[in-house]
Amino acid sequence: ATLCFQAFLQMCNLPVRVVCRANAEYMSPSGKLPFIHVGNQVVSELGPIVQFVKAKGHSLSDGLDEVQKAEMKAYMELVNNMLLTAELYLQWCDDVTVEEITHPRYGSPYPWPLNRILSYQKQWEVKRKMKAIGWAGKTLEQVLEDVDQCCQALSQRLGTQPYFFNKQPTELDALVFGHLFTILTTQLITDELSEKVKNYSNLTAFCRRIEQQYFEGHDKDSSTIAARSAKRSLLR
Amino acid sequence: MAAPMELSCWGGDWGLPSLHPESLTVMAYAKFSGAPLTVNTISNSWKAPRGDIPVLISEDNVISQPAKILNFLRKQKYNADYELSAKQGADTLAYIALLEEKLLPALLHTFWIEAENYCSVTKPWFASRIAFPLNLYLPGKMSREALNRILLTKGGPPLCSLTEVEAQIYRDAKECLNLLSKRLGTSQFFFGDTPTTLDAFVFGFLAPIYKVCFPRVQLQEHLKQLPNLCRFCDDILTCYFRLSVSGHSPAGQDTADANLQKLTQLVNKESNLIEKMDDNLRKSPQHPPRKLTTLKLAAGGEGGSPLNRLSP
């Protein structure tokens, strides 16, 4: 998710510096990561940040008409609904991944036994949420199928265009880039999730294009590495 | 020839074939794609609803969620999306996600959590369709599940109290309705002239909001300000649900017509009577009302003399 914001802010041509903090979740006004700190204002979550940036005069979706804006919102919900939930599922409900990767990663800034307690607590919270929306009964294969369907939809929407709404990047492009790049680069036990995304060549080309265009110019290595380690220690 | 398929779902009222959004979605899709479904509405019998409703039973397959039921129907060659392009198929998925994220929480809230609505409409309606003693337990359980779902998905900080969450979900729902209205524009269905999966989902979510009479109706009022969405619901109801062969809707329509006729006759008679009374009053001299005679007896002296002059 951090990457979505960076991409978005860089698409708006706003300079951004990424800082990693262990207590970032507590510093954020809504408890959710990431958040931006501008002057003496702190804003978190994609929706409010987009509005904040818009109020300051930068907006990526001004060129869209009403129907396109509706479509953009719908696709953003699709990404949130499917990709984000699938990522959460994989991190917290798939036992193998949980044991080997998530627990150590989430608990790493804290001493024993706090690290175990906090990660179990988070796992329990995520499982409750999955149950409420009906994903608890899903097997890994079904989740992967859903991700595949979502990627297929995104791929078909993107087609051969450079961005989702033709020439100009929008919030949707930032969001999709953030999620897909995370899936493609994060190391998990199995590569099935990233394989699903790699099946769609226009999506991988899209990610590479955005990475080159927006992250290479500014100190690419440090920012992407910082972003990746931010995700590692401060799970969304 | 496909095996016979049976759908168990919640029944309807207020002109709808079902009150439950998911059941309505499946029924609408079946009508659009021409799938021959026998619909069994859950009524007061001992076949208590198990698990998720709606449930499709075909031979040995028991399928429960709307998305899975629709997939099954498509595999049986009942496909309403046949003419859609790949991009339109992708759009369908996106809009369905939008509905589930933005509109469903407010719908659940209106039905199951808003205290007045729940106590006066939802609970009695569902309880009357479930057998005792489940009817004491199941509506409460559905309400708790709805609340849980809303709080877990929307209730994270900084929205801590239920009222803030409610305000947010209704804002989202109204925005969603506006977006749907803009997307529909002036066309009859979302993708041209034939209804598709997306139309089934939108209808399933909108029709209960539109038709069910609740005491607290902010979402319904907002929906009524979007005439193209109202027209969309009405069109589907008249075209696809009135002509069903199930037996009750045409009969229902006839009795409704007959009732309407009787009512109009009564109203006409009454208005004639009122006119006559008006005429009589204007023509005749002013008679004092009867009560005053009793007052005269009670009041004593002063009331007496003017009345003596006037009484017939």
For the segment B60-82, what is each residue's pLDDT rounded down to a tens digit? 777 877 888 888 888 888 888 77
Name the pLDDT band for A1 (thresholds 50, 70, 90). Answer: low
Set of chain B residues whose Cβ sits within 8 Å of the Cβ of A166:
none
Which residue, among B152, B159, B165, would best test binding to A if mutated, counting the most A CBs under 10 Å from its CB?
B152
ipTM computed for the complex: 0.74
Those residues of chain A whose CB sits closer than 8 Å to some CB in chain B are: 29-32, 66-67, 69-71, 73-75, 77-78, 80-82, 128-129, 132-134, 149-150, 152-154, 156-157, 159
By Cβ distance, the residue of A77, A82, A128 closest to B98 is A77
pLDDT tens-digit map of A32-66: 556 666 667 666 666 667 667 667 666 666 667 77
Three-state secondary structure call for residue B174: helix
Copy the structure tokens of residue B221: 């009022």
Q: Is the pLDDT of residue B196 over 80?
A: yes
CB contact under 8 A, A157 and B91: yes
- Judged by a CB distance cut-off of 8 A, whether residue B186 touches chain A is no
Residue B296's pLDDT is 45
The pTM score is 0.73
Choose the closest CB to A31 out of B93, B156, B182.
B156
Domain extent listing, chain B = 5-241
Q: Is B300 on the interface with A (CB under 8 A)?
A: no
Query: Residue A180: pLDDT above 70?
Result: yes
- Distance separating alpha carbons of residues B223 and A216, to the nearest angstrom: 47
What pLDDT is attached to residue A226? 42
Q: What is the pLDDT of residue A219?
A: 43
Distances in whole angstroms, Cα of residue B109 to Cα of each of A129, A132, B122, B141, B200: 17, 15, 11, 14, 21
For residue B156, list chain A residues with Cβ-Cβ distance below 8 A: 30-32
Which band of pLDDT confidence, cut at 50, 70 and 90, is reported for residue A158? confident
Residue A43 carries which DSSP code? Answer: E
Strand partners, A163: A166
Nearest CA in chain A to B152: A129
CB contact under 8 A, B182 and A70: yes
Q: Which two tokens stand for residue A33?
A: 């990561």
Res A47: pLDDT: 65
- A79, A81, A83, A148: best to mutate for the B interface, most B CBs within 10 A: A81
The pLDDT tens digits of the residues spanning A121-154 come to: 888 888 888 887 777 777 888 888 888 888 888 8
Predicted pLDDT at A218:
47
Which residues are registered as beta bridge partners of B62? B57
Taking the Cβ of residue B182 and every Cβ of chain A, the question of whether any pair is shorter than 8 Å is answered with yes
Stated length of chain A: 236
CA atoms within 13 A on the CB side of B136: 2
Report cis status (omega within 30 of 0) of the bond before B158.
yes
Provide, as residue numbers in chain A, all residues whose Cβ is less than 8 Å from the Cβ of B86: 156
Q: CB distance A31–B98 less than 8 Å?
A: no
Task: Look at residue B250 in the predicted model and tell me its pLDDT.
Answer: 43
Closest CB to B93 among A29, A134, A149: A149
Q: How far apart are CA A126 and CA A118, in angstroms?
A: 12
User: Regarding predicted confidence, which is higher, B24 or A167?
Assistant: B24
| Total CB pairs under 8 A between chain A and B | 76
For chain B, give the mean pLDDT: 76
| pLDDT 10s digits, B203-256 | 999 988 888 888 888 888 888 888 899 998 888 888 888 754 333 344 445 555
Interface residue B157 vs chain A (CB under 8 A): yes
Q: Are B176 and B98 in contact (CB under 8 A)?
A: yes
B148 touches chain A (CB under 8 A): yes
Query: What are A151's strand-pairing partners?
Result: none
CATH number of this structure's domain B5-241: 1.20.1050.130
Collect all residues of chain B within an 8 Å Cβ-Cβ radius of residue A157. 87, 90-91, 94
B87/A contact by beta carbon, under 8 A:
yes
**Average pLDDT, integer, range B27-37:** 86
Is the pLDDT reported for residue B32 higher than 70? Answer: yes
B48/A177: higher pLDDT: A177
Question: Is the confidence at residue A231, as pLDDT, over 50?
Answer: no
Give the model confidence (pLDDT) of A74-126 as tens digits. Answer: 888 888 888 888 888 887 877 777 777 777 777 777 777 887 888 888 888 88
The answer to whether the CB atoms of A157 and B65 lie below 8 A apart is no
pLDDT at A183 over 60: yes
In chain A, what are the domains?
64-234 (1.20.1050.10)
Residue of B98, B152, B158 lying closest to A74 (CB–CB): B98
Per-residue confidence (pLDDT) for residue B192, from 0 to 100: 82
Q: Using CA coordinates, name the residue in chain B closest to A72.
A: B94
How far lies A141's CA from each of A93, A131, A198, B73, B179, in Å?
A: 13, 17, 17, 21, 33
Residue A186, both tokens: 């994060």
| The predicted structure's pLDDT at residue B120 | 87
Q: Using a CB-CB distance cutoff of 8 angstroms, which residues of chain A are in contact with residue B89?
A: 153, 156
Kindly report the nearest CA distance between residue A218 and chain B, in angstroms.
33
> Per DSSP, what are the bridge partners of residue B61?
B58
Count the alpha carbons within 13 Å of B246 in the hemisphere toward its beta carbon.
18
pLDDT for the residue B217: 82
User: Looking at beta carbons, which residues of chain B come within 8 Å of A67?
Assistant: 182-183, 185
